[in-house]
Structure 1
Amino acid sequence: MNLRERVNTALKQAMKDKDAARLATLRLINAAIKDQDIARRGGDGDQGVDDTDILAILGKMTKQRQESVRAYEEGGRLDLAERERQEIAVIGEFLPRQLNDKETEAAIDAAIAEVGAGSIRDMGKVMGRLKEQYTGQMDFGAVGPRIKDKLS
């Protein structure tokens, strides 16, 4: 079952369970996927987004909510921060397991070796390889500086 089907199945189940908070989050996920589908339509016969694209969408949604949690906590709005955390948990159900630090280091080293990176100029190639293989499994904002350190 692909990610789109999993989201739709979970959406139907949330409707049956009358779980309003979960339902709202699943509808947001569905809307984001459909927005990307519409954006991709260009007359060249493209079928829309695939699982890799959906993982990227979910990762972006998670990151947005994490930033909101920080902002709400700084502003003293713990109720809103908790609601964002609940949305992160629902989105996280569809994301693959996150790599730990040791696994991330190994993935970076392997990607550097695969593309034959020798200098900072090859950073884009390394990031591209990691995004192909580990979309949704690592925070690429945190990985960038680590790659930079290894290539410097």
Structure 2
Amino acid sequence: MSLKDQITEDMKTAMRAKDSERLGTIRLLQAAMKQKEVDERIVLDDAAIVAIVDKLIKQRKDSITAFEGAGRQDLADKEKAELAVLAAYLPERMSEAEVQQAVQAIVAELGASGPGDMGKVMGAVKARLAGKADMGLVSAAVKAALAR
């Protein structure tokens, strides 16, 4: 079953269970997917859907930080609930050690050295690790690898 089909089935399940928070989050995800399909006139594959989910999760994390900083715990809790629903659609994430190993291998493969090669390395890393790792962790690992 494709990820798109899984999301549709989860929406139907949430409707039947009258789980309005989960349903709202899934509808938000479907709207983002539909927008991408319409804008680019494509049919999304699982990798593109994972990228959309990643983007939505990053937005939620930023919102949580902002709401907690402003003392709005009620809104932060709502964002955390949405984050939990969205995280279920991501594949298993790589650990920090696995990310560092992968980055080291790519840096060695490209022969990159110094901060000037950051763009080249990030391009290659993004292509291989998209959806598998948190890009914040990846960026930090690339900076550390190139600083040596």
* Fold agreement, TM-score > 0.5: yes
Deviation string for 1:98-131 (max 9, x for gaps)? 2221111011112223333344443333222222
CA contact under 8 A between 1:69 and 1:84: conserved in structure 2?
yes
CA contact under 8 A between 1:40 and 1:49: conserved in structure 2?
no
Gaps of 5+ in 1: 42-46
Partner of 1:117 in structure 2? 112
How is 1:1-152 mapped onto 2 (pairs within 5 angstroms)?
1-41=1-41, 47-152=42-147
With the length of structure 2 as denominator, give the TM-score of the two structures. 0.89
Q: Distance in 2 between matches of 1:54 and 1:2?
A: 10
CA contact under 8 A between 2:96 and 2:137: conserved in structure 1?
no
Q: Distance in 2 between matches of 1:10 and 1:115?
A: 42
CA contact under 8 A between 2:51 and 2:131: conserved in structure 1?
yes
130-139 or 22-31, which deviates more:
130-139
Identity level (%): 41
Q: Give the residue type in structure 2 aligned to 1:141.
A: G
Gaps of 5+ in 2: none
Q: Distance in 2 between matches of 1:145 and 1:104?
A: 10
Structure 1 ranges of 4+ moved more than 6 A: none
Q: What's the offset of the Cα at 1:24?
A: 0.2
| Count of aligned pairs | 147
94-103 or 10-19, which deviates more:
94-103
Q: Give the residue type in structure 1 aligned to 2:97.
A: K
With the length of structure 1 as denominator, give the TM-score of the two structures. 0.87
